[in-house]
C-alpha cells in the first residue's frame, strides 16, 4: 500500500503558514499551509523565517487602527475625515482582511459556501456598510491574530513530534577501500559500510559488523536504557552509539528505514478521525449555514414586529451574531488536541495510528493479554529433560534440536541454547508445523513429534504421566509412535508486568490473560500478577471465541499480543496493541497501536493519555458552546457589541488552542 504524507523525500517538513488554506468538510481551515520552493527543489516552511513574518501584517494593521482611533477620539484632525478616513481604515482592514476575503471566494468555488471566511467577510464588510469602521478592522485584526496562533500551534505540534522522532543525521561516514568519506545519508546505498563513532547517531538501518556495541534507542522506543547489540544483529536509524567505534552495513534505503515508517505512521495518524472530530465536522457543516440564515432573520424579521425598526441597528446585531457563530474554536482546537495526544504517546514510545484509537483506549473496559512476550520475557530456558530409559537422551535431543531448527518459536531457541549446535548431518523430511500443537517430521527416517501433549492426543499416542502435574511449560516428544518423554521450559515475568497490572486496576480496567501455554503455567503467572481471569491451552480459534464472549458483554476490548500470530484476535478486538513493534514491519501494519519497546507498562500509559486527551477535548467543546451560547443570546438581544463577539470567537479559540497544546506535555503516572 502506498502512503502519502506531508514530508518530502528527505524528511523535510512541508510548510504550515498563513495562506493557501486546506478546508475541512465544515468549511473551516483545519491546517493553514504555504509552500514556496527554492533551487534545491524542496518545500520550505515560512516558519523558518520565524513568527515575526507571520505577525507583521497584524502589527501594521494594529498600528494603523490605533492611530485612527486616536484621531477619532482624542486628537481629532480636520484632515482625518470623509474619504481620507475611510481610506485609512480600509487600508488597515485590507492588510489583514484581503486574504480572508480571497479565501472566502476560494471556498465558494470549491463548493464550501458557508465557511468561517465567508462569515468574517460578511460581518466586517457589513460593519463598514453601517459606518462602524474601527470595529470592522478590529474584528478582522483579531481574527487574523487568532489564525496566526492557530498556525503556530499546529506547526509546533508537528515540529515537536518530528524533532522527537527524526533523529537521523543528514550525513554519514562511508568506509570504502579502507578510506572514510562523508556523504549525505540519503545517498547511501544498500551494502555500503558506515563508520559510527561514539556519540554519533545512525543514519540508516543496518547490520552490526562490530563484535558488540551499546546504543541509546530513546528516539525509537522512548527508553533511554542502553541496548547492547552483538555482531549480526539489526541496528536502526536514530540509535545513538555510546561507547565504541562501530561499523554498520546498510540493509535498508534511507526512505524505507524503520524511523521513516514510524514518522509516516505518526503523520498519517491525523487521517484517522475520532468520533468526536467527525461529529464536530458534521455539526459545523449544518450549524454554519443555519446561523447565516438566523443572522438574516435577525436583521430583517424585526421589520414586521418592531414599531421603530432601524435597519442599521438590527444589521449590527446580525453582524455580531455572525462573528460569534464562527466554529473555528471547535474545528481547529479539537483536531489539534488529538494530534497532541498522538504526540504525547509518541514521546512515550507508543505509536497510535489515529485519533479514533485514542478515543477507544480512553473507553477501554477490558484488556486481554497474551502471556508470552507480553507479560513474560519470551526468553525460555530449559529447566528439565525427562526421557524414558528406552530412549537415548543425547541422541533424542539431537533429533529434537534438528526438527526445532525449522521453527522460529521461542521454545525452539531455548532448545537450541540447551542442546547446542545443530547436527547438519541429520536428514529432515516432511516437516510440518501444526498450529497450536507443535512440529511433525521425519528425522533420519524416524517419525518425530515435538510439541504440547495435545499434539500426542491428536495422533493417538499414549503417555504415562499427568501433564497437569508439570508446573512449567512442557514439550512432549514422541518417536516412531512411542512416548519418549518431555522437556520443561520456563519463562521469566517482565520487570514492569506487576506495575502494569496495578496501574490498569487503578484505571478500573478488567484484565484477562489468554495463552496457548499450559493452564497450570498460565494460572501461576496470573496469580503472581493479580490478573482477574486467565485461560491456557488455547488454540488461535479459542482465543477468538474468548474475545467474542467478552465483546458479547458490550465491553470495549483491547487485545495485546504480537500483532502477527494473533492477527485474528487483533482484528476482532476494538483496538489491537502490538508489543515490540520496533523490529517488525508486519507488526506495525497489523496493529492499531504499537508499543515500541516491549514494555507492558506502556499499556496503562496509552489508556491514560487517551483519557486525558478526551477530557481536554471535551473541555474545549464545553467552553466554546457555553461562551458562544451566552454571547449569541446577548448579541441577538442587542446587549453585546462587536468586542464581546471578538472574545466569543477569537478569544475562545485561543483559549481552546492553548488548552489543546497542553496535551503535548502529558506525563502519565508522574513518570
Residues belonging to the active site: 370
Closest CA to 373 of 414, 410, 412, 404: 410
Q: Following CA atoms 155, 161, 164, 166 in sequence, which dihedral angle do they give, to the nearest 10 degrees?
A: -90
**CB-based contact 296:318 (threshold 8 Å):** yes
Phi-psi region of 306 (alpha: psi -120 to 50; beta: other; left: phi over 0): beta
541496548: which residue's cell?
A: 227
Helix (H, G, I), strand (E, B) or coil at 666: coil
List of residues 6+ apart from 586 with CB closer than 8 A: 563, 564
Three-state DSSP state, 293: helix
Q: Check if the beta carbon of residue 357 is closer than 8 Å to that of residue 367.
A: no
Q: Phi and psi for 516 in degrees, rounded to 5?
A: -80, -5
Q: Around Cβ 20, how many Cβ atoms within 10 Å?
A: 14
Residue 253 to residue 249: CA distance in whole angstroms: 11
For residues 465 and 493, the answer to whether their CB atoms sit within 8 Å is: no
Exposure string of 305-343, with b = 16+ CB inside 10 Å and e = fewer, is: eeeeeeeeebbbbbbbbbbbbbbbbbbbbbbbbbbbbbb
H or E segment to which residue 8 belongs: none
Cα 628 to Cα 144, 327, 338, 611: the distances in Å are 19, 9, 22, 26
- Characterize the bridge pairing of strands 171-176 and 227-230: unpaired
Query: In sequence order, what DSSP letters do the residues of 155-218 get, joined into one string?
Result: HHHHHHHHHHH----SEEEEEETTEEEEEEGGG--TT-EEEE-TTPBP-S-EEE-SSEEEEE-H
Compute how many other C-beta atoms are within 10 angstroms of the C-beta atom of residue 541. 12
Reference 160, options 13, 19, 362, 333; nearest CA is 13
Cα 501 to Cα 483: distance, rounded to the nearest angstrom? 40
Q: 449-458, long-range: CB within 8 Å, 24+ apart, which pairs?
A: 449/476, 449/477, 449/478, 450/400, 450/403, 450/404, 450/475, 450/476, 450/477, 451/475, 451/476, 452/476, 452/516, 452/518, 452/537, 454/537, 456/483, 458/434
Q: Enter the DSSP assignment of 139.
A: H
- As given in the structure block, the three cell numbers for residue 36 are 514556496
| Alpha carbon distance 414, 333 (integer Å) | 52
The strands making up 240-241's β-sheet, listed across from edge to edge, are: 227-230, 212-216, 240-241
212-216 vs 240-241, strand pairing mode: antiparallel
Which letter, b or e, does each residue of 459-476 get, where b requires 16 or more Cβ atoms within 10 Å of its Cβ?
A: eebebeeebeebebbbbb
Residue linked to cell 482624542: 74
Query: Residues 590, 576: contact at Cβ < 8 Å?
Result: yes
CA–CA separation, 580 and 562 (whole Å): 7
Amino acid at each position: 500500500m502506498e502512503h502519502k504524507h506531508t514530508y518530502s523525500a528527505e524528511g523535510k517538513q512541508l510548510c504550515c503558514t498563513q495562506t493557501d488554506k486546506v478546508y475541512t468538510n465544515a468549511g473551516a481551515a483545519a491546517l493553514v499551509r504555504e509552500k514556496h520552493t527554492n533551487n534545491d527543489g524542496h518545500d520550505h516552511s515560512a516558519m523558518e523565517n520565524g513568527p515575526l513574518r507571520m505577525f507583521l501584517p497584524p502589527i501594521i494593521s494594529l498600528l494603523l487602527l490605533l492611530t485612527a482611533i486616536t484621531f477619532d477620539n482624542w486628537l481629532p484632525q480636520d484632515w482625518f475625515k470623509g474619504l481620507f478616513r475611510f481610506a485609512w481604515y480600509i487600508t488597515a482592514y485590507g492588510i489583514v482582511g484581503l486574504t480572508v476575503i480571497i479565501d472566502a471566494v476560494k471556498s465558494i468555488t470549491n463548493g464550501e459556501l458557508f465557511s468561517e471566511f465567508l462569515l468574517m467577510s460578511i460581518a466586517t464588510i457589513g460593519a463598514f456598510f453601517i459606518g462602524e469602521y474601527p470595529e470592522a478592522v478590529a474584528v478582522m485584526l483579531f481574527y487574523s491574530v487568532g489564525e496566526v496562533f492557530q498556525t503556530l500551534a499546529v506547526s509546533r505540534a508537528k515540529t515537536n513530534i518530528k524533532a522527537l522522532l527524526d533523529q537521523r543525521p543528514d550525513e554519514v561516514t562511508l568506509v570504502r577501500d579502507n578510506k572514510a568519506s562523508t556523504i549525505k545519508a540519503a545517498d547511501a546505498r544498500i551494502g555500503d559500510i558506515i563508520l559510527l563513532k561514539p556519540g554519533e547517531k545512525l543514519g540508516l538501518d543496518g547490520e552490526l559488523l562490530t563484535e558488540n556495541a551499546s546504543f541509546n534507542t530513546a528516539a525509537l522506543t522512548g527508553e533511554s536504557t542502553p541496548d547492547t547489540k552483538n555482531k549480526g544483529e539489526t541496528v536502526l536509524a536514530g540509535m545513538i552509539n555510546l561507547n565504541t567505534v562501530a561499523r554498520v552495513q546498510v540493509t535498508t534505503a534511507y526512505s524505507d528505514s524503520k524511523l521513516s515508517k514510524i514518522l509516516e505512521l505518526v503523520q498519517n495518524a491525523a487521517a484517522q478521525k475520532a468520533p468526536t472530530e467527525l461529529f464536530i465536522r458534521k455539526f459545523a457543516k449544518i450549524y454554519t449555514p443555519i446561523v447565516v440564515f438566523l443572522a438574516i432573520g435577525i436583521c430583517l424579521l424585526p421589520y414586521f414586529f418592531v414599531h421603530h425598526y432601524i435597519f442599521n441597528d438590527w444589521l449590527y446585531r446580525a453582524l455580531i451574531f455572525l462573528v460569534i457563530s464562527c466554529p473555528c474554536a471547535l474545528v481547529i482546537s479539537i483536531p489539534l488536541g488529538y494530534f497532541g495526544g498522538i504526540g504525547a504517546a509518541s514521546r512515550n514510545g507508543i505509536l497510535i495510528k489515529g485519533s479514533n484509537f485514542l478515543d477507544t483506549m480512553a473507553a477501554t473496559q477490558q484488556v486481554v493479554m497474551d502471556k508470552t512476550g507480553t507479560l513474560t520475557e519470551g526468553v525460555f530456558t530449559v529447566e528439565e529433560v525427562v526421557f524414558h530409559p528406552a530412549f537415548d537422551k543425547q541422541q533424542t535431543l539431537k533429533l529434537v534440536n534438528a526438527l526445532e531448527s525449522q521453527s522460529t518459536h521461542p521454545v525452539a531457541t531455548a532448545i537450541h541454547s540447551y542442546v547446542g549446535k545443530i547436527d547438519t548431518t541429520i536428514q529432515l523430511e516432511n516437516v510440518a508445523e501444526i498450529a497450536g500443537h507443535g512440529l511433525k517430521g521425519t528425522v533420519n527416517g524416524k517419525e518425530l513429534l515435538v510439541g504440547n501433549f495435545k499434539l500426542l492426543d491428536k495422533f493417538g499416542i499414549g503417555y504415562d504421566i499427568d501433564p497437569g502435574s508439570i508446573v512449567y511449560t512442557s514439550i512432549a516428544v514422541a518417536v516412531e509412535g512411542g512416548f519418549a518423554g518431555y522437556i520443561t521450559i520456563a519463562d521469566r515475568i517482565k520487570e514492569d508486568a506487576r506495575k502494569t497490572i496495578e496501574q490498569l486496576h487503578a484505571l478500573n480496567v478488567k484484565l484477562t490473560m489468554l495463552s496457548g501455554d499450559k493452564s497450570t503455567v498460565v494460572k501461576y503467572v496470573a496469580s503472581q500478577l493479580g490478573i482477574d481471569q486467565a485461560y491456557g491451552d488455547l488454540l488461535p480459534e479459542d482465543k477468538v471465541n474468548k474475545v467474542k464472549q467478552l465483546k458479547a458483554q458490550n465491553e470495549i476490548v483491547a487485545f495485546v499480543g504480537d500483532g502477527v500470530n494473533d492477527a485474528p484476535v487483533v482484528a476482532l478486538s476494538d483496538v489491537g496493541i502490538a508489543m515490540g513493534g520496533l523490529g517488525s514491519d508486519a507488526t506495525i501494519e497489523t496493529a492499531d497501536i504499537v508499543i515500541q519497546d516491549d514494555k507492558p507498562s506502556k499499556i496503562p500509559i496509552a489508556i491514560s493519555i487517551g483519557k486525558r486527551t478526551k477530557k481536554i477535548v471535551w473541555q474545549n467543546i464545553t467552553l466554546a458552546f457555553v461562551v458562544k451560547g451566552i454571547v449569541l443570546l446577548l448579541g441577538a438581544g442587542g446587549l453585546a457589541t462587536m468586542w464581546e463577539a471578538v472574545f466569543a470567537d477569537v478569544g475562545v479559540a485561543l483559549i481552546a488552542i492553548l488548552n489543546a497544546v497542553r496535551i503535548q506535555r502529558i506525563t502519565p503516572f508522574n513518570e
